[in-house]
Amino acid sequence: MNSVYLVYTPYHILTAAGLASLYDESDKKYLVIVSDFADADMFCHVISKWNRNPFLEIILLDGRYNISNETEIKRVNVFRKNVRLLKDLFNTKLKDGCNAFIYHDANVEGQIIAYLNYKKGGTNFYVEDGTSAYSNYIAPTLPFYKILIARVVYGKFYENVRILGMNRYISKIMVFSPENVRTELRNKKIIKIPKQVLLSLNNNIFISNLLKSYGIDQKKLDIKNVFIAAHSDHLIKYNLMARYKILFGCCITELKDIHVKYHPRERIPDFLDVEKDPKVKIIPQALPMEILSLSLIGREPKMIIGDISTSLLTAKILLKPARVISLLRLLNSENVYPEEIFKKEGIIIPKKVTQLKKELKSHES
């Protein structure tokens, strides 16, 4: 049986590459990348040149990053085109069904693959999208008329998936931490993803080649502390920008050396105003944090600070010696849904600024 991997982020690509090269014994493997992030084409190129590339073909689709400023009609047309291209894939190269590894089954691309593959007798896997497999977050219910419109525009297969992994055509769930999987997913077969899926990528030239694409020499990396900046849209939406800058100021004051990592989709240049600060270095914005974490194994930073980013969870998994801190309680964030899994994995969550300062001072001294 053949297999197809549908991915939307650099994190997805990393786990797909690891799974396909280490554990997938399928005859032919296809990678479908939906361009929901910057540099999707660069990732496509690096994988195709990788000497251990496990994929017979890599298909690059337009995604939300390309069309973020387009009209709703143009966005819908892009998604309709993606549905059409995926139908062609199943009609020509995956005629007999396959193992489909789907990283986002709420999006229309994931739903059409799950539907077509189920009808052909294939097996559909939801592969964890980060914290969503463990949190208690439930997406809002779409108005009935919007669901009807989606079914008319895309097809009768469309459904309002409010919890990732709950698409009716998905039967198996793949996660790094099965013991922490959210209750709603436990009625499906749970499969543990070995940590080696990610670690193996650091034992060959894949990660170093990705870093070279960003002008970074892996052997010269020297990072003491990392601050993973939240997306400014989130901070503005919840009126958190002023408080966030105060918390970041605490980190700059207490830490002697800090690297700032802005979100890959951030559109406000250097909103923390750190470019001219000699104590602060800016990591290339488009570089995914997961790649940075992999490249730092064996020379871990002292501290990694963020809010609710999946990158914090990945960093804690990969960089055990590092102290990982989440600011979610200090921000009084309405999105506190990753808190339980963060606590279980040993991520520190200060409730007061004095606690944060104490953590920063104790680890820097």
Q: Which residue has the tokens 């570089």?
A: 287
> What's the order of all strands across the beta sheet hosting 189-192?
57-62, 29-35, 2-7, 98-102, 123-127, 172-175, 189-192
The token pair that represents 209 in the structure block: 């080649």
Q: pLDDT tens digits, the chain, 365 residues: what are they? A: 999 999 999 899 999 999 999 999 999 999 999 998 888 999 999 999 999 999 999 999 999 887 877 898 999 999 999 999 999 999 999 999 999 999 999 999 999 999 999 999 999 999 998 888 988 889 999 999 999 999 999 999 999 999 999 999 999 999 999 998 999 999 999 999 999 999 888 776 889 999 999 888 888 888 999 999 999 998 998 899 999 999 999 999 999 899 999 987 788 999 999 988 888 999 988 788 889 999 999 889 999 999 988 889 889 888 888 899 999 999 876 555 678 888 888 999 999 999 999 999 886 55
**Angle formed at CA 364 by CA 362 and CA 365, multiple of 5 degrees:** 70
Longest CA–CA separation in the chain, Å: 62
CA 261, 265, 271, 277 torsion: positive or negative? positive
Single pTM value for the model: 0.90
pLDDT value, residue 290 = 87
Q: How many residues does the chain have?
A: 365
Query: Cβ distance 229 to 272 under 8 Å?
Result: yes
- Same fold flag, 2-200 and 216-364: yes
Q: What is the rounded CA–CA span in Å between residue 5 and residue 3?
A: 7
- Superfamily (CATH) of domain 216-364: Glycogen Phosphorylase B; (3.40.50.2000)
CATH architecture classification, 2-200: 3-Layer(aba) Sandwich (3.40)
User: Hey, where are the domains in the chain?
Assistant: 2-200, 216-364
**Nearest-angstrom CA–CA distance, 111 and 205:** 34
pLDDT at 256: 83
For residue 334, give every residue at least 6 positions away whose Cβ sits within 8 Å of its Cβ, in sequence order, or none: 238
* pLDDT value of position 335: 53
- Confidence (pLDDT) at 336: 56
Q: Give residue for tokens 């040149």.
A: 49
Model pLDDT, residue 184: 96
Cα–Cα distance for residue pair 284/256, rounded to 1 Å: 20
Among 10, 310, 5, smallest CA distance to 137 is for 310
Residue type, 243: R
Distance CA 301, CA 312 (A): 13
